[in-house]
Amino acid sequence: MPKPSVKEVWHLAMFYGGSGVKVGLAIVLWAAGAVTLWTAGRYGTSDARWRAALVMLWAVVPALMLAVASLKHPMFLQRYMIFSMPALLLLAGIGAGSLRKWRIGLILVIALCAFAIPTILGKYNKPREDWRSASNVVFRSAAPGDAVAFFPFYQRIMLDYYASQPGAAAPPLHVFAPAFYDGGEDASTLLQALSSNPRQFQHVWILMADHGTKLEYFDHGAALQAKLQEIYGPPTVQKFADIDVLKFGK
């Protein structure tokens, strides 16, 4: 589970507003909306102040509460803060309405929608993840006690599902991914295990969804990849629909 950081706050902004240019446009609209609400709250009626405070608190308090809680138990995941999405949409709408000069607000909204179209079309054209084939490769080739890690970690449920099917014949594996978000071993634990005893696993399997073979996109990913290559050398890579299976060890 991630801890609050500048990087995770930026990821949260992209979760709310979109990646690339979209997040920049969204930030402009949010900023304009925040200034408008601040002005209304400071100089308006008590009713206006209440409305402004409601939207602003709704937009930021859930993230702040989760950030504080994550200092002890890391859980700063974007989807846990989706509750604030309606407030951010209201804030962007208020910002668009306040930028009346040269219809800047309207232009920004149209541009934001236009930049979102390729992403939406890409999601609809995205191939279905072939977890059946990826799981079968691990089941057929893994030795008992092999280590398995997932990026992102919650994809573990897919391997668990196919391992539970009749005839799967899955060997006993050491899975470094929390089950049902209850904490426990993860990629950092695997890294510690490899540092303390580099050859305790005959193979280490890395299953990645939608991110190619770039482990540095994830927490502990770059350090784990460096350690695995130091111990086992370059991995063999098998590609399936939207999934990469990396095998470290001969």
Task: Indicate the residue among 94, 124, 154 that finishes a domain.
Answer: 124
87 within a domain of the structure (yes/no): yes
29 within a domain of the structure (yes/no): yes
Residue 222 has pLDDT above 90, yes or no: no
62 within a domain of the structure (yes/no): yes
91 and 150 share one domain: no
Percent of residues, the chain, with pLDDT higher than 70? 95
The range of the structural domain enclosing residue 235 comes to: 131-248
Number of domains in the chain: 2
Q: Would you state the pLDDT for residue 58?
A: 95
Taking CB atoms within 8 Å and a gap of at least 24, the contacts of 216-225 are 217/151, 218/151, 218/152, 218/187, 219/2, 219/187, 219/188, 220/186, 220/187, 220/188, 220/191, 221/151, 221/187, 223/191, 224/149, 224/187, 224/190, 224/191, 224/194
Question: The whole model's pTM is what?
Answer: 0.58
